[in-house]
Amino acid sequence: MELGGANTNGDERNPSPLEIQKAPPPSNSPIWKTVTVASIAAGIQFGWALQLSLLTPYVELLGIPHTWAAFIWLCGPVSGMLVQPIVGYYSDHCTSRFGRRRPFIAAGTALVAIAVFLIGFAADIGHMSGDNLSKAAKPRAITVFVVGFWILDVANNMLQGPCRAFLADLSGGHQSKTRTANALFSFFMAVGNVLGYAAGSYTHLYKAFPFSKTHACDVYCANLKSCFFISIALLLILTIIALATVHEKPFSAEQGDSGEGGVSEPFFGEILAALKDLPRPMWILLLVTCLNWVAWFPFLLFDTDWMGREVYGGKVGEGRMYDLGVRAGALGLMLNAVVLGVTSLVVEFAARGVGGVKRLWGCVNFLLAVCLGLVVLVTKLAESSRRYTSVQGGAPTLEPPSAGIKGGALAIFALLGIPLSFFESDNVTFSIPFALASIFSSNAGAGQGLSLGVLNLAIVIPQMVVSVLSGPWDALFGGGNLPAFVIGAIAAAASGVLALTMLPSPPPDTLASKASRSSC
């Protein structure tokens, strides 16, 4: 899940060295081509925003218990670790007459369309296949959803790497053009984030598609289906325009054998073998990054579910409170995306103000810990102030939380945009951990490919661990989301302490140079 988004896969935002090697010679490509290709990011991120805000509650509505819902998200780190290097390798060596990147972008978009259809119509397909709507668990719908979800994550990995590499090709090796291309890509991802979360927060979107509401698909499901209709339409339009107007020169096998580039990214086995030679600073960096993901991933998985369960007091599939809470959570994620975009403009100045990027990284980890701690406070206040209305002859009806409780919850979402602006992989500041990894590995005689590959392990392994353990861990304490959030707060605080006290600071000029190259 490109943590976003939060992409939570951690390795699908930036092109690998393998993806940008052997690029075509520098060209005077007009800026409109770069803008056209970069705009595909808006369609990709629109879908990611829906995935992060709506799919965990949808999984539970289909009948998967909260304890096991996080297992679905194992696809993100697994596909990120396996699919991205494979797609990067074959897109570098593709000799299609349509170019190296365009076939993969087209294939990824087609797979997204298939995945969105399976996810959106999972309940309908399951019902037609024999699911009993009177039962909580709908096994056939769950099967269709899981297949669609995994295809979606694989497709997103197929899309983002080649898109980034296509932009690098269009930049022709010029650093200023490459920075502009990455800035445009990040801008369109921010646009997609805001639009996706806004669509997810609107409760009556299904009325624009009356056919989306069926006997097997209630209002929440119909809204989700409608959001995905818009998502795939946006992605298809942007991709068709880009592929129809921006062309590539065919790549020949002779170019691949000419020795250009010369650096290949090590695969999983080589990375594991190289771990024993890592210097101590690199191990500390890996630990800080690992703890960061342990802190972030539970919230990325269960943020809207937390709003529906703990803040609004709703139960999955019972009444309207859970649905209203999920929509409020999507609104919070939209505020988060806006704050992230604004904060990302001043991160460089903030780093100077606190005495360096390393110190800033430690400080924002403490802010993350405080925000996750406030989640517990807001939850307890919401529980103690539940309001019910009684209708004569009927059962008491739960009312939405007070404006103060709702405002406090939304404020937490917005505040989390500040540390996320530093941690977000699409932002240039997230290149700092990769830059530090490159510096520490270089001091031990290793290369850039190794540093990126090793750091990726510190991103995907925590995601796998959290996906496997967060549900059972929550179940031990009653089935809510707070236990995983508490562990996240502790991990964030520990990450901040390690960053401030044990992580070495490289020379400023070296770090700036490495960060500039990583952001490209």
> pLDDT, tens digit, for every residue of 368-414?
999 999 999 999 999 999 888 876 566 678 888 999 999 999 999 99
User: What is the per-residue pLDDT for 426?
Assistant: 43
Cα 178 to Cα 26, 170, 171, 361, 516, distances in angstroms: 11, 8, 5, 25, 10
On the question of pLDDT at 514 being above 70, the answer is no
User: What is the per-residue pLDDT for 349?
Assistant: 77
- Rounded to an integer, what distance in angstroms lies between the CA atom of residue 379 and that of residue 306? 9
71 residue type, one letter: F
Cα–Cα nearest to 23, from 197, 228, 164: 164
Largest Cα separation within the chain, whole Å, is: 83
User: What is the per-residue pLDDT for 28?
Assistant: 66
Picking from 176-185, 200-209, 225-234, which range would have the lowest pLDDT averaged per residue? 176-185
Q: Between residues 211 and 84, which one has the greater pLDDT?
A: 211
User: What is the per-residue pLDDT for 12?
Assistant: 41
* Domains defined for the chain, CATH in brackets: 29-253 (1.20.1250.20)
* % residues pLDDT > 70 (the chain): 77
- Rounded to an integer, what distance in angstroms lies between the CA atom of residue 204 and that of residue 220? 9
Between vectors from CA 62 to CA 60 and to CA 66, what angle results, nearest 5°?
Answer: 20
User: What is the per-residue pLDDT for 428?
Assistant: 35
Q: Between residues 187 and 260, which one has the greater pLDDT?
A: 187
Confidence at 248, pLDDT banded by 50, 70, 90? confident
> pLDDT, tens digit, for every residue of 10-27?
444 444 444 444 444 445
On the question of pLDDT at 425 being above 70, the answer is no
- Rounded to an integer, what distance in angstroms lies between the CA atom of residue 426 and that of residue 428? 7
Cα–Cα nearest to 287, from 63, 412, 132, 440: 440
- Rounded to an integer, what distance in angstroms lies between the CA atom of residue 296 and that of residue 423? 10
Q: Are 131 and 139 in contact (CB under 8 A)?
A: yes
User: What is the per-residue pLDDT for 263?
Assistant: 39
> pLDDT, tens digit, for every residue of 477-504?
777 788 889 999 999 999 999 988 888 7
Instruction: Tell me the DSSP string of 30-65.
Output: -HHHHHHHHTHHHHHHHHHHHHHHHHHHHHHHTT--
DSSP code of residue 507: P
